[in-house]
Amino acid sequence: MLLLHFSLVFITVSHLFELINWNPLSDIIGIYSSYSYANRNFGFFAPTVNEDYVLRLKTFAKNDTTGRNFPLYQPDTENKIRYLTMLWHFTEDNSTSQMDLYSRSWGLYCMNSNSTVQEVKISLSKNKVPSMKQYRAGERVTNSLYYQTTIYAK
């Protein structure tokens, strides 16, 4: 049974099901992959990610007071999942030293992408989603600052 499970998951994850044109088998693989969630973009190998956090990177050149927003990912499904997974790892144990390490990495990435960048302000906000009872009572999604730091070029 275990071998059958892994075989069906492997066929789905590796996209071999696209080569199988025999309807009964294709239908069985389709139903099973939906049941096991193997048909999702990263299948069941991806951690549970959600959009509770909002990351903002703002870059500043020398003598710049307004700054420019720096997008960290391209808006396609695969990059969005990777981006959200990265945010999940960033906040998974609420360790300031871990968040500082990620922030330095993101700041350096921004500076390497544009040589005029002298400062990167990193802000992470967390969404609070109300329960259905709270929503019916008029409460809406709120956003509060979770973490913030600034990385400077030397």
Q: State the Cα–Cα distance between residues 21 and 10, nearest whole angstrom.
A: 17
pLDDT band at 77 (very low <50, low <70, confident <90, very high): confident
Name the nearest CA neighbour of 144 among 49, 54, 51, 50.
Answer: 54
The DSSP secondary-structure symbol of 48 reads: P
The arithmetic mean of pLDDT across residues 52-67, rounded, is: 91
Question: Ramachandran region of residue 29, left (φ > 0), alpha (ψ -120 to 50) or beta?
Answer: alpha
pLDDT at position 43: 45
Q: In what order do the strands lie in the sheet with 142-152?
A: 68-69, 53-61, 117-128, 142-152
Using CB atoms within 10 A of its CB, is residue 151 exposed (0-12), middle (13-18) or buried (19+)?
buried
> Quick one: angle between helices 23-36 and 2-13, nearest 10?
100
Q: State the Cα–Cα distance between residues 58 and 48, nearest whole angstrom.
A: 28
Q: What is the pLDDT of residues 98-136, one digit of tens each?
A: 889 889 989 999 999 999 999 999 999 988 888 899 999
pLDDT at position 102: 86
This prediction's pTM: 0.62
The arithmetic mean of pLDDT across residues 30-55, rounded, is: 63
